[in-house]
A and B are shown apart, each in its own frame.
Chain A
Amino acid sequence: MKQAKPATRRTGKPEVTAPGAKKPAGVAPGAKKAAPSTAKAPRAARSPRAKPEPPPVVVEVTSLRKTYGSTVAVDDIDLTVRRGSMFGVVGPNGAGKTTTLSMITGLLRPDSGTVLVAGSDVWRDPIAAKRVTGVLPDRMRLFDRLTGAQLLYYCGMLHGLDRSTASSRTEDLGVALGIEGSLNRPVRDYSIGMVKKISLAAAMIHSPRVLVLDEPFESVDPVSTSQAIDLLQRYTASGGTVLLSSHNMALVERVCDSVAVIVDGSVLAVGTLDEVRGKQSLEERFVELAGGRVAVEGLEWLTTFSD
Chain B
Amino acid sequence: MSKTLLFKNAVVLDPRQSLKAKRDILVEGGKIKKLGSHLQDGGYDEVIDLEGRFIVPGFVDMHVHLREPGEENKETIFSGSRAAVAGGITSLCCMPNTQPPIDNPQTVKYVQERADKANMARIYPLGTITLQRGGDELTSYGTLLEEGVKAFSDDGKMVASSSVMYHAMSYIRKFDALIISHCEEETLSRDGEAHEGYWSSILGLQGLPPVAEELAVARDILLARDTGARLHLAHVSLARSVEWIKWAKEQGIKVTAETTPHHLLLDHSWLEGFNPQAKMRPPLRTEADRRALLQGLKSGVIDAVATDHAPHREEDKSGDFTSAAFGITGLETAVPLLLTELVKPGVISLEHLVSCYSCRPAEILGIDGGTIKEGSPADLVVLDLEAPGRVESRNFYSRGKNTPFEGWKTAGKPVMTVVEGQIKMKEGDLLEG
Q: Do A and B bind each other?
A: no
Residues of B at the A interface (CB closer than 8 Å) are: none
Residues of A at the B interface (CB closer than 8 Å) are: none
